[in-house]
Amino acid sequence: MSCEDDDDYGWDDYVYEPIITVQNIKVSINTISKNDVKTIEEALTLCLDMKLDKLNVILKNMNVYNVGDCLIVNDRYRISPNLIDIVNGFGMKIKPIKIEGMRGNTYIIGDIVTGLLKISGVSYDYTKNLSILQQAVNIDNKQLFSDLSNRYLSDLELVSFIREIKREGFVSIDGKETFVDNESQGVESDRYRVEEKLQKFLSDIRRETCQIKKHVQNGTIELLADRAKKMGYTVQKKQVDKQIQLVLVRND
């Protein structure tokens, strides 16, 4: 058989076509671990514990109620005219309000920490540090603070990720893997965007925690200054090396 007979089989017209397949897969992301979420919750809780433990020096002499994530504080006998400055010193939100039946000065107090904890589904327990009265308090919702961590809680995707990490230990997202002749050509997914979002959240929380610790120091100074004033002193800050020391000066 001559070579010329090969043309009868159409070899010259044959074109190789690779076999391309696409598979839907799940991509696991471990930017933040379950232990990271636990550490965040513990650090934030500790920060608010410290604030309230110090504030309780004043609040224990008042009527304190818990409404949602906020505190309602009734200074019935007006024993602490500087409460707003002290609470602000701790980096907390406070504003005067009116509630029918409550005499003296009444305030609503809130803290961003309670909102940050809600991202992972945790509600702060005020009863650990304060004597909370159990009576129901009727308050107009307009007097309540808007969500104190709305920039995070409004991101439903982020909230979903954090709660999934707390539950499963990682985030699982959809991806597609392409194969050519059974050889993988790589995976397409939102992996890098999700990793960047989680990493930014972790950095933001660390920065918030450092800021909260500074607020604890500032609030403590305001608290000491208030007590010193009642004793006839003023408090002055004195920097020694890199530390701030407080000095009591007798008012003449």
- Count the neighbouring beta carbons within 10 Å of the beta carbon of residue 123: 10
In which band, very low, low, confident or very high, does the pLDDT at 38 lie, cut at 50, 70 and 90?
very high
What is each CA distance from 115 to 34, 41, 190, 234, 236, in whole angstroms? Answer: 19, 11, 27, 35, 34
Q: What is the pLDDT of residues 52-67, one digit of tens each?
A: 999 999 999 999 999 9
* CA 170 to mean position of chain CA atoms: 19
Contact (CB, 8 A) for 83 and 94: yes
Contact (CB, 8 A) for 137 and 107: no
Give the mean model confidence (pLDDT) for residues 4-9.
Answer: 54
User: To 5 degrees, how large is the angle CA 103–CA 106–CA 112?
Assistant: 165
d(C-alpha 169, C-alpha 184), whole Å: 27
Return the exposure string of 206-225: e unless at least 16 CB atoms fall within 10 Å of the residue's CB, then b.
eebbeebeebbeebbebbbb
Q: What is the pLDDT of residues 175-210, one digit of tens each?
A: 998 888 888 888 899 999 999 999 999 999 999 888
Contact (CB, 8 A) for 108 and 145: yes
Q: What is the pLDDT of residue 6?
A: 52
Give the mean model confidence (pLDDT) for residues 131-156.
Answer: 86
Mean pLDDT over each residue of the chain, to the nearest integer: 88
In which band, very low, low, confident or very high, does the pLDDT at 229 lie, cut at 50, 70 and 90?
confident
Q: What is the pTM of this model?
A: 0.82
Q: What is the pLDDT of residue 10?
A: 54
Contact (CB, 8 A) for 132 and 141: no
d(C-alpha 25, C-alpha 111), whole Å: 41
Q: What is the pLDDT of residue 138?
A: 85
d(C-alpha 245, C-alpha 222), whole Å: 13
Q: What is the pLDDT of residue 168?
A: 95
- Of the chain, the percentage scoring pLDDT greater than 70 comes to 92
